[in-house]
Structure 1
């Protein structure tokens, strides 16, 4: 087995909520060990969204991406949102889009305050639901991002999501029940994040359970497969492509052409809104994209073009 070309450590990042730290992993390339090394470009990433952005954590495969980027010479900071994974926050496993966007902003501020990172070369990376987050954040001028990479990002609900079925009605009622429970100080009502079609759950598209099983780690207990039922109501009003015309930095969208969760048409729509958006796609389903080597190679090429490691300025668009 080859020696790793990076050093991994754990860090705690204070979140916007006092007392709630974000648990993070920091990956530094071995070349950063010398005191004369220049500050490194840094990639901030979250994966609390392997199930449509809502129910996973950084232990579910994100290391593979972080290790590759760090081996190339980039620094990487991987974190869990508040209430998820090993980060603090209660009640657990509740989705608040505003909180998750703030957690990304918090990590961006944190990495800019660390002497080992180059504050002028900050990249955001996300996949599925967090892919939507980084896409939305790419339009925030005050973040001054260098680049953004979004793999099979959630860019809004497709038209098929609103079809009324008995299962959907039961799911909505579970969400209302959860709101009532939490309003009166009770524990949340949870439901599966991933379930079979026709069952109560947040993600019930055909193939979702099987796809999730393909990418789950062998270690038991990593994936709880639960989310507060009221998290359902965060989705219909979230449209990360709405601010696409105001994107401020190069953005790479990596799409799965057979994705039944994140419609390909939304990717083309976003690309049409901004000349800064690049799109690559593969003839795969949503979950298959995670193990596609071509996806990783596209990301690496994008980084080499827009976030060079030789000390030169990023390419202007």
Structure 2
């Protein structure tokens, strides 16, 4: 069963969908799910959720403020702390639903939100378990390595030129592509042609309201983003991290470093062999592999309680 939902997050209306299993009686466990950079709720999360719903877990999938069907201005503005607050508001909302067991709410994230759920694990005691897929660990380091030193300096110049122009004219357009076919001729936030190809395919098929750009301030905020001060504060919440062996975007070595810093003994690292970052968005068989790896974790720490 699936229905549309909406709730308030700091006065902004956030919209999403609630998927519930048909074969569960009484209040059920729930996963709160949100996406990565410029995601909308139609991108890959429903496919993951279908596996979890089949296992008996309800899934609440939402668009962050400023994206997709949710309200919020400026559009396409990715403030990680506002997005984390949207997660917390989703938990607030889920606790009011009669079909949800408020003592069995977990969180799931992928890429940028894979990092968000780790931060939430340090600050949100209501969470029963965490599933973090291919998480972004350190924004500045990821952008620097992804762009390469010379191109990264060009990115920083782009940001500074925008700041100067914005100071002189507050109406200066704030817009940078998420990715482009040729990142060596056009500056983009993520310098990966396969990201462009993958998301354009998603836009053409399942997510027509995906917009492939973000505010320039979003890139500035990404440069300030790191989960490392927070992962050492995850001491009680069971935490599963799924990483991809061939991930050159969020980088498995940074992810492993973050996993090792998590203090809870109830943690699990799953390394998916011969799988890339983007294959966990658009390759149905890879999505199924990641989902099937997750279900036993949910059965142990979310369903079985």
Q: TM-score range by the shorter chain?
A: 0.7 to 0.9
Please show how residues 93-104 of structure 1 align to structure 2 within 5 Å.
Answer: 93-104=76-87
What displacement does 1:112 show? 1.3
**Other-structure match for 2:302:** 307
| Secondary structure, aligned partner of 1:121 | strand
Contact preservation (8 Å) 1:46, 1:125: yes
- RMSD (Å), alpha carbons: 2.2
Larger proportion of helix: 2
- 1:85-143 per-residue CA deviation (whole Å, 9 max, x = no partner) reads 11001110011111111111111111112222111101101100011100111122x43
User: Is the 1:60–1:222 Cα contact (8 Å) retained in structure 2?
Assistant: no
Distance 2:43 2:207 in 1: 11
More displaced 10-residue stretch of structure 1: 38-47 or 180-189: 180-189
Of 211, 222, 231, which aligns to 1:224? 211
TM-score by length of 2: 0.87
1:11 aligns with 2:1: no
1:97-112 mapped onto 2 (5 Å cutoff): 97-112=80-95
Q: Distance in 2 between matches of 1:85 and 1:182?
A: 26
* 1:285 CA displacement: 1.2
Secondary structure in structure 2 of the residue aligned to 1:125 = strand
Indicate whether 1:46 and 2:34 are aligned.
yes
Q: Give distance in 2, aligned partners of 1:298 and 1:237.
A: 32
Corresponding position of 1:171: 155
Q: 1:149 aligns with which of 123, 128, 131?
A: 131
Partner Cα separation in structure 2 for residue 220 and residue 245 of structure 1: 36
> How far apart in 1 are the matches of 2:2 and 2:64?
19
Q: Helix, strand or coil for the counterpart of 1:67?
A: helix
Give the one of 9, 12, 17 matched to 1:25. 17
* Gap change, CA 1:201 and 1:139, over 3 Å in 2: same
Query: Which consecutive residues of structure 1, in runs of 5 or more, have no partner in the other structure?
Result: 1-6
In 2, the alpha carbon distance for the partners of 1:46 and 1:179 equals 30
Contact 1:91 / 1:187 at 8 angstroms: preserved in 2? no
Local SS of the residue matching 2:149: coil
- With over 3 angstroms needed to count, the CA separation of the structure-2 counterparts of 1:269 and 1:219, relative to structure 1, is closer
CA contact (8 A) 2:114 2:136 kept: yes
Aligned to 1:267: 255
The residue aligned with 2:266 is 276
Secondary structure of 1:44 counterpart: strand
Distance 2:204 2:64 in 1: 20
Q: Secondary structure at the match of 1:298?
A: helix
Given candidates 186, 189, 193, the residue that maps to 2:174 is: 189
* Aligned counterpart in structure 2 of residue 202 of structure 1, from 189, 199, 206: 189
- SS of residue in 2 equivalent to 1:200: coil
* Residue in 2 that maps onto 1:245: 232
